[in-house]
Amino acid sequence: MCGIVGYVGSRDGVPIVLEGLQRLEYRGYDSGGIAVAGASALRVHKAKGRIADLKSSLPKRIKGSPAIGHTRWATHGAPTDVNAHPHVDFSERFAVVHNGIIENAPQIKARLEADGITPVSETDTELVAHLIGQAAADHEDPVEALRSALSHVEGAYGLAVVDAQHPDRIMVARLGSPIVLGLGDREMYVASDVGAIVRHTKQVVHLEDGEIALLEADGFTTSTLDARPVQKISERVDFDAEDFDMGEHQHFLRKEIGEQPEAVERTISGRLDERFSTIKLGGLNLHPNELRSFKRVYILGCGSAYYSGEVGAQLIEELARIPATAEAASEFRYRNPVIDPDGLYIAVSQSGETADTLAAVEELTRKGARVLGVVNQVGSAIARATDGGIYIHAGPEVSVASSKSFTSTCVAFAMLAVHLGRIRDLSPADGDRLITALRELPAKIAAVLEQEEKIIEAAGWLSQFENAMFIGRVRGWPIAREAAQKIKEVAYMHAEAYQSAELKHGPLALIDAQMPVVAVVPDDELHEKQRSTLHEIRARSGPILAISHHELPTELAERTIVVPRTEPELEPILLNIPLQLLAYHAAKALDRDIDKPRNLAKSVTVE
């Protein structure tokens, strides 16, 4: 949940690192720092706050190469100058930046203090720096010192280390937290996310868990923690630096909501098979006979990925007639689940690095389950750890709140459901119907976006309240959950989501004139029952904003946002779009920090 950037080469690395940190600020933004190794001395500068604060306070003497930097989202210790990375060992020879959590930090700290080393910060990262410093007394090769230090560490880490005695290299290591190497022309880069370095190189190498790399200007070498050499093959990234720019928009979230027609177009591109009325998903790496053999589907994700999994589970049950459920990955492995030998497990993650979801994948793999991934980031940890899957190709998503990746993931599940259904009992006519609807989705999303002025007015009205309730039934239920999360994330409004029919079983006690209700009310088989729920709310003076396929009468809802019709199975995808804009404009009306909401970070790479 933090950002790492490093550079080694003939140029001044400081501007390169600072630029990369700004691109990673969505991953952590409560403090930052930079370290340069040169002339047998380290130069380190750290500052609480955003990267802009770090840049404005940076001394002119901080320049050169190699350089490493970090933008932090606090886990151990408050966001302060002292707790900011990089951290330096007791000999002031090594500087370390670190993503992840050291689980045996108390034991390491006790050991260091027994050896007369007193940490100055509250962080677990500083302890790693001291371990490297201690190990260097016994190992002339600093890579061996790093390897020795890490043998005492339990937990997750992505590390970059510079050494004042070797000011021509960067050492990096990975275990459970992403690290990518960038290959340049007699220069090398390291980052926790390729977006930080894509302006400088498109050739990258992903480190695997348990690997160490030594970077020098003219290349790199990789090995395992037990010193076995590893050969790596570089990959080319498929997006540009401009994808990480805000362009004409005030916030990345609004830009990314507006990019959804193009994102969905990429998700479906090349996958709609009109000839056989089905979907082509070669990345599943499963023969149709294998897919027919699964008796149940289990979907795991966190946050918005979990809610998209709920949409997916409904689609799979409805179209493929396979029992399917979605569950929070953060809970899955801790409840000692019974692994279904006839089940297909699907892990969902925009970043492909979500720690809780990755841990669930590893637990499933250990127990012999078949696991697929639905991810956005090519080459990510979950993509590499699963047996196959679907890349959603939504493009880079910078804002902490998910928008286009949520929508594209729902589209990916719709395609998977059609694919599974056509292998089973879904008719060619239904396959054709859904393929046509999928092809029309981008234009219909664009039509929803054109209603922004009406949504702005509704958001201004909603932002006057302190609380809100979101309701939906069946297909609308996961959309209500996702919408409630969005309004909490970016507008800091207290919001809850309930199944519409459950209001009368308790939550109806909360309804009064100060409890607005946002109701997802499609024109489906449950529409009349939904109207009954709206009458119950209005009878208790509850104000209602409806998301529906036609304008509701004012006795049911003061405001209605009308969404174009599509095939019933795909309606949740369109119903969610105005709710994204609603959260965005409510946050804007309340003057929130929309792209970097307090206490949150984009890629949750710690448990």
User: Which residues are known to be catalytic?
Assistant: 2, 602
What are the φ/ψ torsions at residue 201 (nearest 5 degrees)?
-160, 150
CA distance 53 to 202: 29
The C-alpha angle with vertex 6 and arms to 31 and 166, in degrees rounded to 5, equals 115
The separation between CA 133 and the C-alpha centre of its own chain, rounded to angstroms, equals: 34
- The answer to whether the beta carbons of residues 213 and 172 sit under 8 Å apart is yes
DSSP labels, 534-599 = HHHHHTTT--EEEEESSPPPTTT-SEEEE-----GGGHHHHHHHHHHHHHHHHHHHTT--SSS-TT
Answer for the pair 365, 385: CB distance below 8 angstroms, yes or no.
yes
CA distances from 329 to 311, 474, 529 (A): 16, 22, 33
- C-alpha distances in angstroms, 556 versus 526, 543, 544, 550, 551? 16, 9, 7, 12, 10
Are 74 and 606 in contact by the 8 Å Cβ rule? The answer is no
> Omega of the bond prior to 66 within 30 degrees of 0, cis?
yes
- Rounded Cα distance between 572 and 417, Å, is 14
Residue carrying the six token digits 């599509």? 566
Sheet holding 324-328, edge to edge: 324-328, 296-301, 343-349, 370-375, 388-391
Closest CA to 327 of 351, 372, 373, 360: 360
CB 583 within 8 A of CB 487: yes
Which residue bears the tokens 């309240």? 465
3-class SS at 327?
strand
- Which amino acid would we find at residue 284? L
Q: Is the dihedral of CA 199, 205, 206, 212 positive or negative?
A: negative
Q: Which of 81, 82, 85 is nearest to 72 (CA)?
A: 85
